[in-house]
Structure 1
Amino acid sequence: MTTAEPEAVAEEAPGRYLPVIDGMITQPFPAADFDDATGYGGPACRVRVLRASRDFWDDEYHRALHQADAEMSAVLGALAAALTVRWGDPLTVGLWSHPEAGFDGQRAPELIERLSQSACSMQVWPVPDSGRWIGLTVGQHDTELPLELMAVVGRTPLPAPGAAGGG
C-alpha cells in the first residue's frame, strides 16, 4: 500500500472496489469451503480482501500502522457511503460475540467465526431481490500483520446486529 493521503485513496475506492463487490454478489457460492489468493468462503459465505496494507514488523513507533489505519478507514468510509446510497443505512454487526453466541442463538458459521478473529464489527447491507447480504470490515490478525479491508457476501438471513466493539 502506498503512503498517499487518505482522502485521495478514498476518492478512487468506489470506482476500484464496487465492481468487485458487484461481482461477489452475483457469483455463485462454491459447493465446498475454499481458501485461496482471492479469499475464503464456502456454500453460504465468501470473504475477499479488497485492500491490504504492508506488514508492521519493523514499525517500532507505529507510524506506518497509523497511516495505514487512516487509509483503510477512509476507503471503508467511501465504500460504505456508496453502498448506503444504493441500499440505505447498514446494520452494524458485532463480530466479537459470534464465536460464542452465533446467529439467532446458534453457533455462527465457521467462516464468520474466522472473520471474527480479525475484525470486531462489520457494516452489513441486505441486497434487494438477491437473497444475499454484503458486509464491509477492516481487520488485522495480529499487530505485526497487515490491515485488511474485507468484503463479505452471504446468504440471508442477515447476521444479527450486536453491540459493535471498535474496528
Structure 2
Amino acid sequence: MSTAEQEAVPQEAPGRYLPVIDAMIAQPFPAADFEDAAGYGGPACRVRVLRASQDFWDDAYHRALNRADAEMSADLGALAAALTVRWGDPLAVDLGSYLKAGFDGRRAPELIERLSQSACSMQVWTVPDSSRWIGLTVGQHDTELPLELMAVVSRTPLPAPNAGGGG
C-alpha cells in the first residue's frame, strides 16, 4: 500500500461506517439471538463486523498480519475520532480484565464475555437521549483468522473500564 493509499484509508472510514453505526443505533434489537456473516446479537445487543481482513494461514512472518493490523487501527482511530466529535471522549474498557475475571470464575455479561475472547480493549460512548451505548473494537478469534473491526450497540449496563477489581 502506497503512502497516499494509507492516508486515504482513515479519511474514508468514517464515511463508510458511520451510516452503518447510525442504522445499528436506530434499529430495534431482535427478539431472539442470531448470528450471521455480518455479526451477532440478541434482545439487548447487536455486534456488526464493519471490516474483516484476510486470514493469516500462510503468513509465517506476520507481514500481512502487521499490515492488516495497521489498517484496522487506522480505521478504528478515524471512526473513533468521528464519534468523539459527536459524543465526547469515549470510555476505555479493558476487555482483557473481563477475560481474566472469567478465568477466576467471575461472570461478565454474555456480550462482554464474548467480546473479551477476541479483543483486548474497546472504546465506548453513551448515545445521548437513548438507553444505548456504542462500542468499537478490533478483534481476532485466533492467530490464523481475520482481524475484525467491530461495532457494538447495546442497552445492557455500560461495561466497567477494568473488571479486575470485581466488575
* Same fold at TM > 0.5: yes
TM superposition shift of 1:100: 5.9
User: Equivalents in 1 of 2:112, 2:163: separation in Å?
Assistant: 16
Distance 1:137 1:158 in 2: 15
Tell me whether 1:98 sits opposite 2:98 in the alignment.
yes
Mapping 1:2-41, distance limit 5 Å? 3=1, 5-41=5-41
Q: Which residue of 2 aligns with 1:116?
A: 116
Q: Which one has a larger percent helix, Structure 1 or Structure 2?
A: 2
Runs of 4+ in 1 over 6 A off after TM superposition: none
In structure 2, do the counterparts of structure 1 residues 114 and 156 end up closer, same or farther at CA, with 3 Å as the change threshold? closer
SS at match of 2:153: strand
Aligned to 1:57: 57
Task: Give CA deviations for 1:2-36 in whole Å, capped at 9, x if unaligned.
Answer: x5643221111011000000000011111111111
Quote how far apart the aligned CAs of 1:156 are. 4.7
**Contact 1:118/1:140 (8 A) holds in 2:** yes
Shift of 1:163: 7.4
Scaled by the length of structure 1, what TM-score is found? 0.88
Shift of 1:65: 0.6
Matched residues, number: 159
Q: Which stretches in structure 1 are left out of the alignment for 5+ residues? A: none
> How many Å apart are 1:79 and its aligned residue?
0.2
Gaps spanning 5+ residues in structure 2: where?
none
Give distance in 2, aligned partners of 1:39 and 1:80.
Answer: 20
Contact 2:94/2:122 (8 A) holds in 1: yes
Shift of 1:115: 1.1
Taking every aligned residue pair, what percent have the same amino acid on both sides? 84
Secondary structure at the counterpart of residue 96 of structure 2: coil
